Amino acid sequence: MATRSKLPSVDPFLLWLVGTVVAASLLPARGVALEAFDVAADAAIVLLFFLHGAKLSREAVLAGIGNWRLHLLALGFTYLLFPLLGLGAARVAGMVIDPALAMGLLFLALLPSTVQSSIAFTAMAGGNVAAAVCSASLSNLVGIVLTPLLVALFIHSGGDGGVDGFSSVQKIATQLLLPFVAGHLLRPVIGKWVDAHKKLLQPVDRSSVLLVVYSAFSAAVANGVWSRVGPFDLGVLLLASAVILGVVIAVNGVVAKLVGLPREDAIVLLFCGSKKSLVSGVPMAGALFAPAQVGMVILPLMIFHQLQLFVCAWLAGRYRRELDAAAAILPPQDEAAALARAQAIGLPIPEACRAGVVANLELLTRHARVLDGGKVGGGGA
């Protein structure tokens, strides 16, 4: 009986996000309570980026930094192709949905890539993990400065409001960049403790985002968000997100082939160049937009977040199956494996012949990889 392929499951964090939106819709914080949540959210964001800086391994980044062509391509997808697609999507969608939602489509296109999921999907697919660490980290470092500038250029200059021009860079620097730099400078002191307690610290990421989402939607509910957003609007956002993601992935594959990227680097380009960070995007929205706008602006990002995880999980699984299938047809790679394979088919290998047999098998494997363009057995988890 043929086995049915398992579809990627819904990200549990999405359920927390939806629950937070529902809670803010039914029991929104108001007055002094909302101010308290705003202060708590700001403090959580500072802590979040401080820990991001402390977790960033300089050695891991340096291990993959030499692949400059790959990193430039990934940055090009994140900060050139995505913004162009976002501009088009916002222009078209803005004809039929609320302008604040259309602004959210453009905003998500200006954000940096994800870090954790980019690295995880690259490892799952058998890609160049060291390069993924460097590329994703570089994208976020660049984004702390470049995203506010792009928002000021494409959104504020267009008269959509909500952003205080280039002074937004100062706010981002104070709330995000300075804590990040401080955390990284203190890594020699606290790095070992942070690395040893990653599971303990993981809730900080998510609770920070949830606090900002609750605060944002509390303000949005007070401004009648659900009287402005209906099923049709959500459908348009989902369709626009699917088109943006689909075009990026398609162009990604074409570019990887045109420039001749090896399989493991093409995987890095795919996963680092096709995703947008919710963890960075929500705090940035809180810093860049008026409180009454943040809920509407981050709604498209929340939809895109789940869609990108669903699609990238499927792609990573497909790459892994291809890699496993290719590895299964390779000859044994060492003496023990050769003896085991020979014994399984009842073919003894005399001791005097073993070294020659293994050498020939290694030669056959190298030829197979060259003929197959590096796909057979290439890469590593």
Write out pLDDT tens, residues 253-300.
999 999 999 999 999 999 999 999 988 898 888 888 888 888 899 999
pLDDT of residue 200: 72
Mean pLDDT value across the chain = 82
**What share of the chain has pLDDT > 90, as a percent?**
31
Which tens digits make up the pLDDT trace of 149-168? 898 888 865 555 555 555 66
306 — pLDDT class (breaks 50, 70, 90): confident
Predicted pLDDT at 2: 45
What's the confidence (pLDDT) of residue 334? Answer: 63
pLDDT tens-digit map of 333-378 = 666 666 666 666 666 777 777 677 767 767 766 666 666 555 555 4
| pLDDT score at 1 | 44
Residue 317 to residue 40: CA distance in whole angstroms: 39
Instruction: Tell me the C-alpha distance between 204 and 279, whole Å.
Output: 11
Handedness of CA 84, 85, 88, 90 (dihedral sign): negative
Which candidate, 294, 272, 258, places its Cα nearest to that of 116? 272
Q: Check residues 249 and 375 and name the one with the higher pLDDT.
A: 249
Q: Considering only 47-56, 241-250, 330-339, which range has the smallest mean pLDDT?
A: 330-339
Is residue 70 scored above 80 in pLDDT?
Answer: yes
Helices 351-371 and 335-344, packing angle to 10 deg = 100
What does the alpha-carbon distance between residue 104 and residue 108 come to, in Å, rounded to a whole number? 6
Q: What pTM, to 2 d.p., does this model score?
A: 0.77
- The amino acid at residue 317 is G
Mean pLDDT of 39-46: 84
How many angstroms separate the Cα of 144 from the Cα of each of 31, 182, 369, 380? 31, 14, 41, 31
pLDDT-based confidence at residue 381 (cuts at 50, 70, 90)? very low
Residue type at position 181? V
pLDDT at residue 161 in the model: 52
Please report the pLDDT score of residue 236 as a whole number: 96
pLDDT of residue 301: 94
Q: What are 171-224's pLDDT values in tens digits?
A: 777 778 888 889 889 999 988 888 888 777 777 777 888 888 888 888 888 878
Mean per-residue pLDDT for 66-70? Answer: 88
pLDDT tens digit sequence for 116-131: 889 889 988 888 988 9
Domain ranges (residues) in the chain: 25-325, 329-371
CATH topology of domain 25-325: Na+/H+ antiporter like fold (1.20.1530)
Among the listed residues 169, 167, 209, 171, the one whose alpha carbon sits nearest the alpha carbon of residue 52: 209
Q: pLDDT tens across 261-272, in order? A: 999 999 999 999
